[in-house]
Amino acid sequence: MIEQLGLIGCGLMGGSFALALKRAKLVKRVVGYSKSPSTTERARQLGVIDVAAPSALLAMSGADLVLIAVPVGASEQTFKAIRHGINDKMFVMDVGSTKGDVIEAARRGLQDQIGAFVPAHPIAGKELAGVEHADADLYAGRQVVLTPVKATLRSNVQRASKVWTAIGAKVVTMTPEAHDSAFAAVSHLPHLLAFAFINAMTAHPQGSRFLELAGPGFRDFTRIAASDPTMWRDVLLANREQVLLQAQGFREALAHLEALVRTGNAQELEDAIAAASGTRSLWQPGVAASPD
Amino acid sequence: MIEQLGLIGCGLMGGSFALALKRAKLVKRVVGYSKSPSTTERARQLGVIDVAAPSALLAMSGADLVLIAVPVGASEQTFKAIRHGINDKMFVMDVGSTKGDVIEAARRGLQDQIGAFVPAHPIAGKELAGVEHADADLYAGRQVVLTPVKATLRSNVQRASKVWTAIGAKVVTMTPEAHDSAFAAVSHLPHLLAFAFINAMTAHPQGSRFLELAGPGFRDFTRIAASDPTMWRDVLLANREQVLLQAQGFREALAHLEALVRTGNAQELEDAIAAASGTRSLWQPGVAASPD
């Protein structure tokens, strides 16, 4: 289906995409570039890419699909670097966790080539960054959100949808604004809270003794706190407006529960916990908690 | 090792303890009582208990070990109900997630029999409450915290330690105060935050649409929000002072991160996330994150 994939950013996300395409025999050749030459070379040694390119522009030359899998903060410079290499047969995707800022970066960086770009966010990941952890199964069964804008060529949205579907992902399309609001709620805010929780623990004089006693609840609640700092710095800054808005909603809900605990309002506390517990018990990945 | 176990509260925790003793052939007979007769009967049908007793006092009659596995809010009435059945050959344990309040309840309820009581908190659980989910492996490899007080007979602490060790748990001893402070940090506060997070999501006009997009990070972060409302109401109220104190520390850490996001302080934000990520990456269950 794809003659040549130009992979810009040979990390976990990009590497997993390349491996998935290769395993499904959907790509003939993968040409890769990473900012760090040792990463590019490592990707080649691992068979994630076939050819190591010395620049982003050379990595995309001759490709029919270009995947940009760099930290969202590096989006604009990447778009600028590849703009002159884009031709009519080529489409470009990213894998960023935020979409509004990446689209702005694409408008500035790609300019009149913006039609080639299909903004994409695969809802998948691991705490372990790096091409060593790239996994052909990373996207299997996961949702991928495409957020095309007016300028995006419809034919490219269709090609993007087809390639994600072919590697086992489920494609959802929405506006960039709806995406960024939803992911502030379900992903960016939880990360912020998990980081804050660990930092509060560390700030406590007995924090490291406490950690010795932590069990499976702590393990799962804080798993996302081990995520990549550079990536999450960029995500939180890129989507700051929505993240701060939803953090405000969270603080209100927390203050309400704290007040019920402080005043010993057992019935209302139980009701509030039951509401949360009921919602979470009904939740399943990719399924609405209640019909609406 | 145990001739007869008197099990008061035939739910997940108590049922799992009985099953573990039975599987290890450490108990000859289990006599059980639950507040709801249908639960007691169900426990008997499932083979978790051998005999269903019509009262707490009858369930403990003739036992050499009594396990109280009721919501912590029901501790005092349970201690009162069994006080006159306690004799010199018998020791009593609980499985409560809070210890200061249970010990106060034991002082009031057991009075001069307080020496028989060994306060215990096995760090294990599931979101799925009820005897149907009782599991002989629930405590295997888990830590169990014993918090004896001055009046607790040393011989009973030894017996308690021996029985938990025999079913594969690792015994740790500490003061009730140290326990309650540590578990506010590693367990009770995370539950409060997870409940608040889900309630904030529900309060958002588009909350249920957001939930459809949630992925594995959300799944793990919120797993504990599905916990039993009655149990967690009791735990949060029982340990309210420590929970509120540590919630305060959390809110400060969150406000700090929010300020870095708001002002776009990329370097300090990355440093703060890296600190959290590093601490969490080093953490392992039951192992100190840093030597101190």
Rg of the Cα atoms in chain A:
21
How many domains does chain B contain in total? 2
- A224 to B217: CB separation less than 8 angstroms, yes or no: yes
Mean pLDDT on A133-154:
96
* Residue A291 maps to a domain: no
Does any domain span residue A35? Answer: yes
Residues in chain A closer than 8 A to B232 (CB atoms)? 273
- A292 three-state secondary structure: coil
Residue A140 forms contact with B (CB below 8 Å): no
Residues in chain B: 292
- The domain in which residue B225 lies consists of 178-282
- Give CA separation, A133 vs A19, A43, A76, in Å: 11, 11, 26
Cβ distance A1 to A162 under 8 Å? yes
CA gap A24, B148 in Å, rounded:
60
Question: Which secondary-structure segment (H or E) carries A5?
Answer: strand A2-8
Domain for residue B290, yes or no? no
Residue A152, pLDDT > 50, answer yes
Collect all residues of chain B within an 8 Å Cβ-Cβ radius of residue A230. 270
Q: Which of B97, B138, B233, B250 to mutate to test the interface with A (most CBs of A within 10 A)?
A: B233
C-alpha–C-alpha distance, residues B90 and B120, integer Å: 16
Is the distance from CB of B69 to CB of B138 less than 8 angstroms?
no
Query: How is residue A182 written in tokens?
Result: 């939803």
Q: How many CA atoms are closer than 13 Å to the CA of B258, on its beta-carbon side?
A: 20
Predicted confidence band of residue A284 (pLDDT cuts 50, 70, 90)? confident
To 5 degrees, how large is the angle CA A224–CA A227–CA A229? Answer: 135
A216 has pLDDT over 60:
yes
Let me know if residue A68 belongs to a domain. yes
Domain CATH number, residue A116? 3.40.50.720
- Whether A201 shows a pLDDT value over 50: the answer reads yes
Q: Across the interface, which of B204, B247, B288 has its CB nearest the CB of A211? A: B288
pLDDT for position A286: 66
* 3-state DSSP assignment of residue A34: coil
Backbone angles phi, psi at A279, to 5 degrees: -60, -45
Number of other CB atoms surrounding residue A151 within 10 Å: 15
Instruction: Please tell me whether residues B245 and B107 are part of one structural domain.
Output: no
DSSP reduced 3-state for A106: helix
Nearest CA-CA partner of B222 in A270, A282, A221, A271: A221
CA distance B76 to B93: 13
Query: If DSSP codes are grouped into helix, strand and coil, which group holds residue A49?
Result: coil
Residues A140, A16: Cα–Cα separation, whole Å: 10
Query: Which of A144, A193, A206, A243 would you mutate first to test chain B, the one with the most B CBs within 10 A?
Result: A193
The minimum CA-CA distance between B38 and chain A, rounded to whole Å, is 23
User: CA of A257 to nearest chain B CA: how many angstroms apart?
Assistant: 7
User: Of the residues A174, A205, A235, which one is the last residue of a structural domain?
Assistant: A174
Per-residue pLDDT, A36: 94
Judgement on whether residues B6 and B117 belong to the same structural domain of the protein: yes
**Interface confidence: ipTM more than 0.95:** no
φ and ψ at A88, to 5 degrees?
-65, -25
Residue A145 and residue A216 in one domain: no
Question: Coil, strand or helix: which one is A60?
Answer: helix
Residue A288's pLDDT is what?
38
How far apart CA B207 and CA A289 sit, in angstroms, is 9
Pick among B210, B232, B241, B267 to test the A interface (most A CBs inside 10 A) = B210
Chain B stretch 24-53, residues whose beta carbon is closer than 8 A to a beta carbon of chain A: none
Q: Establish how many alpha carbons lie within 13 A of residue A46's alpha carbon, considering only the half-sphere containing its beta carbon.
A: 22
CA distance B72 to B31: 21
Q: Is A6 helix (H, G, I), strand (E, B) or coil?
A: strand
Task: Work out the minimum CA distance from B278 to partner chain A, whole angstroms.
Answer: 7
A205 in reach of chain B (CB within 8 A): no
Which residues neighbour A158 within 8 Å (Cβ) at sequence distance 6 or greater? none
* Residue A152 near residue B221 (C-beta atoms within 8 A): no
Cβ contact B266–A172 (<8 Å): no
A289 is a domain residue: no
Name the one residue in this structure whose structure tokens are 């797993």.
B223
Please indicate, yes or no, whether residues A194 and A61 belong to a single structural domain of this protein: no
Count, in order, helices (H) and strands (E) of chain A. Answer: 13, 9
Residues B55 and B152 in one domain: yes
Q: Which residue of B has its CA nearest to A271?
A: B229
| Residue B128 backbone dihedrals phi, psi, to 5 degrees | -90, 105
Chain A (156-185) residues lying within 8 Å, Cβ to Cβ, of chain B: 172, 181-183, 185
Do the Cβ atoms of A253 and B192 come within 8 Å? Answer: no
- Tell me, what CATH number does B197's domain have? 1.10.3660.10
Is the same domain home to A19 and A159? yes
Radius of gyration of chain B from Cα atoms? 21
Among B141, B174, B207, identify where a domain stops: B174
pLDDT tens for each residue of A81-137: 999 999 999 999 999 999 999 999 999 999 999 999 999 999 987 767 899 999 999
Residue B289 counted as domain residue: no
Q: What is the DSSP string of chain B?
A: -EEEEEEE--SHHHHHHHHHHHHTT-EEEEEEE-SSHHHHHHHHHTTS-SEE-SSHHHHHTT-SEEEE-S-GGGHHHHHHHHGGG--TT-EEEE--S-SHHHHHHHHHHHGGGGGGEE-EEE----S--SGGG--TTTTTT-EEEE---TTS-HHHHHHHHHHHHHTT-EEEE--HHHHHHHHIIIIIHHHHHHHHHHHHHHHSTTHHHHHHT--HHHHHHTGGGGS-HHHHHHHHHHTHHHHHHHHHHHHHHHHHHHHHHHHT-HHHHHHHHHHHHHHHHH-BTTB-SS--
Residues B46 and B151 reside in one and the same domain: yes
* Closest CB to A212 among B222, B233, B287: B287
Q: Which two tokens stand for residue A66?
A: 């270009």
In a domain, A164, yes or no: yes
B261 touches chain A (CB under 8 A): yes
Q: Within this chain, do residues A45 and A168 fall inside the same structural domain, yes or no?
A: yes
CA-nearest residue to B266 within chain A is A233
- Asked, for residue A287, whether it belongs to a domain, the answer is no
- Which parts of chain B sit beneath pLDDT 70? 127, 286-292
pLDDT (0 to 100) of residue A126: 75
On whether both B29 and B148 belong to a single domain, the answer is yes
Cβ neighbour number for residue B121 with a 10 Å cutoff:
26
Torsion, Cα of A227, A231, A233, A239 (10° steps): -110
A215 touches chain B (CB under 8 A): yes
Q: Please tell me the predicted confidence (pLDDT) of residue B32.
A: 98
Q: With a CB-CB cutoff of 8 Å, which residues 55-74 of chain A face chain B?
A: 73
| Nearest CA distance, A198 vs chain B (angstrom) | 5
Asked if residue A182 and residue A91 are part of one domain, the reply reads: no
Range list of H helices, A151-239: 154-166, 176-183, 189-203, 207-212, 216-221, 229-238
Which residue of B206, B208, B226 is in closest CB contact with A280? B226
Task: Give the minimum alpha-carbon distance from A228 to chain B in angstroms, rounded to a whole number.
Answer: 7
Q: Which residue of B has its CA nearest to A142?
A: B215
With beta carbons under 8 A apart, name residues in chain A contacting B273. 195, 227, 229, 232-233
Q: Looking at the complex, does the CB of residue A249 fall below 8 Å from at least one CB of chain B?
A: yes
Q: Residue A261: enclosing H or E segment and its boundaries?
A: helix A240-263
| Shared domain check, A139 and A41 | yes
Last residue of a domain, one of A174, A200, A235: A174
Quick one: pLDDT band at residue A285, thresholds 50, 70, 90? Answer: confident
In this structure, the answer to whether residues A165 and A30 fall within a common structural domain is yes
- Per DSSP, A132 falls in state G
In chain B, which residue's Cα lies nearest the Cα of A201?
A: B185
